[in-house]
Amino acid sequence: MDTKLLYIDTIGCQMNVYDSEQFAKGLRPMGYTLTSSLDTANLVIVNTCSIREKAQQKAFSFLGRLATLKRKKPDLIIGVGGCVAQQEGSRILERMPHLDFVFGTYAVGRLPKIVKEIELKRRSFVDIDNSGGIDGLEPIAVVPSAEDNQSPTRFVTIMRGCDNHCTYCVVPHVRGREVSRNPANILREIRNLVKSGVREITLLGQNVNSFGKKEGSCSFPELLFQIHDIEDLLRIRFTTSHPKDLSRNLIDAFSGLNKLCKHIHLPVQSGSNLILRRMNRKYTREEYLEKVDRLHSICPDIAISTDIILGFPGETSEDFDKTLDLINKVEYDNLFAFKYSDRPYALATGYPGKVSELVKKERLEAVLDLGKEYAAKKNRSLVGSTELILVEGFSKKQRKSVSGRKINDRQWSGRTSTNKIVNFTKGRGFYSNDVISKGQMIRVQIDKASVHSLSGTVVEGGEKVSVSTKQRVFPPELVEA
């Protein structure tokens, strides 16, 4: 079979990253191998995001530039998938006739058939059928290859869709209603990943807290309990948690499961109850802060990150001040802030009281500046401490020039349990035969801190650290509270 080169451009969330991995797996039996060179590719797939206007514009901009490449290489196959594809369908082909096919979020498993159709008949193809149901959730099963083992950390999608219908959000329209995977299939996928060298997994879902409720299967804390027992898996993360569904059992898991990382992403979106109601978030700022307090009481060193939307329709300066006040109360380890933008099908698109772009920009900058202050403060507090790090590979700076550097000067990178990036070197106490490898757990002394990362050295005499699978106080039978 002739080798063909596949280039994938992934825009948006971690779920899109997971889906892109499925694209590559599904097309591998057809002879496609991933490439980082756009110019040499035989097949280009753009995996799009429509959650914000900027992400959608980025996708169309890249797709537009591909027209030049198509003229140079008429046999090049170009496809577009993801949320924009599901949202726009055949309109994308009308707008950009140089594209060959469009496939939606439900068609991941059908991608090989679509590409085969293009190869044989060279005609445009659109597949945004959303009737695939739960079948489209299961990962594509293929024989493992070197492409599957490039990182000790991987994403695992455990559910898709959303039933919350926040008024600013397009997810229910492009990802569908909420549906959870079979827990046995999730466990099987994770075990296979661990066998291939993965040591940390991040569970993905629009709202992982509601996992299994519609299907009557195990709850999310129960799923974490089962994943925790997988041998050789060292760390578990998850995202995203909807505050309204954050249960006491899930909060308690942070003190009960050794492998569960001490970090939670808990999007608040606004500090104003009026805006939260207009967003249809179904919790108040008081309820949110109560859950934050419980998280800190159960796990004092837990790191909390959040999402915030600025300039939602009707947001006054008083509403904005309440958001700043909430940030000051929580002191987030990290925050992601965005200007509100109207999205197709989202209810808030028709809301009155639109906030000007200038005001949104000013509020965004204020929130980002405040977020940086607290991120820097939290990072500085770790200077002098010794942190347990999962080695993910060379740091970005190191990857640019590995050759010619002394073994003890080589800079590696990993993350703390609290999701802070740490760049580190071996230090003087290590010799060339002291091997550091991806997937290893080591202890690093933190020497310096910046807003976005930490730096340090491996503790002298450091060794591979194992993580106990033994649970602390955490009941085997859980009932959601």
pTM of the model: 0.88
With a cut of 90, say whether residue 471 has pLDDT above it.
no
282-293 pLDDT, tens digit each: 999 999 999 999
Residue 213 has pLDDT above 70, yes or no: yes
pLDDT of residue 408: 47
Q: CA-CA distance, 29 to 32, in Å (whole number)?
A: 7
Per the prediction, the chain carries an average pLDDT of 89
Q: Residues 217-238: what's their mean pLDDT?
A: 96
Residue in the structure block whose two tokens are 């757990």: 441
Do residues 368 and 411 both lie within one domain?
Answer: no
Query: What is the distance between the alpha carbons of residues 460 and 440, in angstroms, rounded to a whole number?
Result: 16
Higher pLDDT, 350 or 400: 350
Question: Is a pLDDT exceeding 90 seen at residue 169?
Answer: yes
| Same domain, residue pair 25 and 87 | yes
Domain identity same for 426 and 319: no
Give the model's pLDDT for residue 179: 92
pLDDT digit string, tens, across residues 31-66? 999 999 999 999 999 999 988 888 899 999 999 999
Report how far residue 370's alpha carbon sits from residue 321's, in angstroms, rounded to the nearest whole number: 12
Distance (Å, rounded) from C-alpha 274 to C-alpha 283? 11
* Domain at 115, CATH number: 3.40.50.12160
The residue written with tokens 């329709």 in the block is: 313
Q: Confidence class of residue 475 from pLDDT cuts 50, 70 and 90?
A: very low
Cα separation, 153 vs 200, whole angstroms: 5
Domain of 91, in residue numbers: 4-134
CA distance 345 to 168: 9
Q: Is the pLDDT of residue 24 over 60?
A: yes
List own/partner pairs for 396-399 with CB under 8 A and 24 or more apart: 397/423
Rounded distance between C-alpha atoms, residue 32 and residue 111, angstroms: 13
59-87, pLDDT tens digit by residue?
Answer: 999 999 999 999 999 999 999 999 999 99
The last residue of a domain, from among 114, 134, 154: 134
Predicted pLDDT of residue 193:
94
Please tell me whether residue 358 adopts helix, strand or coil conformation.
Answer: helix
Give pLDDT, residue 435: 74
Find the helix or strand (DSSP H, E) in which 183 lies: helix 183-195
- Element (H or E) spanning 250, and its range? helix 248-256
Query: Is the four-CA dihedral 179, 185, 191, 197 of positive or negative sign?
Result: negative
For 481, residues 6+ apart whose C-beta sits below 8 A from its C-beta are 247, 248, 249
Which tokens hold the place of 317?
A: 């300066």
pLDDT of residue 136: 57
pLDDT at 141: 57
What amino acid is encoded at 159 in this protein?
M
- 328 and 450 together in one domain: no
Closest to 475 in 3D by CA, of 252, 279, 281: 252
The angle, 0 to 180 degrees and rounded to 10, between the axes of the packed helices 317-330 and 357-380 is 10
Token pair 């060959």 is at which residue?
100
Q: What is the pLDDT of residue 476?
A: 43
Better-predicted residue by pLDDT, 477 or 66: 66
Q: How far apart are CA 199 and CA 231, in angstroms?
A: 10
Low-confidence winner among 28-32, 121-125, 170-174, 306-310 (lowest mean pLDDT): 121-125
> Do 102 and 9 reside in the same domain of the chain?
yes
Domain final residue pick, 134, 158, 179: 134
Average pLDDT for residues 98-125, to the nearest whole number? 89
Q: List pLDDT tens digits, range 112-154.
A: 999 999 998 877 878 887 765 555 556 665 555 555 557 899 9
Are residue 348 and residue 419 in the same domain, yes or no?
A: no
How far apart CA 245 and CA 207 sit, in angstroms, is: 8
pLDDT value of residue 330: 98
Examine the pLDDT at 201 and tell me if it is beyond 50. yes
Q: What is the mean pLDDT of residues 464-471?
A: 50
Residue entry with tokens 């999701």: 419
CA-derived radius of gyration, the chain: 23
Same domain (yes/no): 353, 419: no
Task: Band the pLDDT of 467: cuts 50, 70, 90.
Answer: low
Average pLDDT of span 241-264: 96
Domain shared by 14 and 130, yes or no: yes
- Cα dihedral 284/285/287/288 (nearest 10): 120
Q: Are residues 391 and 319 in the same domain?
A: no
pLDDT at 461: 46
- 50 lies in the same domain as 125: yes
C-beta of residue 12 within 8 angstroms of C-beta of residue 127: no
Residues 51 and 109 in one domain: yes
- Taking 60 as the threshold, does the pLDDT of residue 312 lie above it? yes
Is there a contact between 209 and 221 (Cβ–Cβ < 8 Å)?
Answer: no
Q: Is residue 141 one of the residues assigned to a domain?
A: no
Q: How confident is the model at residue 463 (pLDDT cuts 50, 70, 90)?
A: very low
CA-to-CA separations, 106 to 94, 135, 239, in angstroms, rounded = 21, 9, 21
In a domain, 186, yes or no: no
Contact 280, 248 (CB under 8 A): no
Residue 176 DSSP symbol: -
* Residue in 261, 265, 178 with CA at minimum distance from that of residue 224: 261
Same domain (yes/no): 376, 400: no
The total number of structural domains in the chain stands at 3
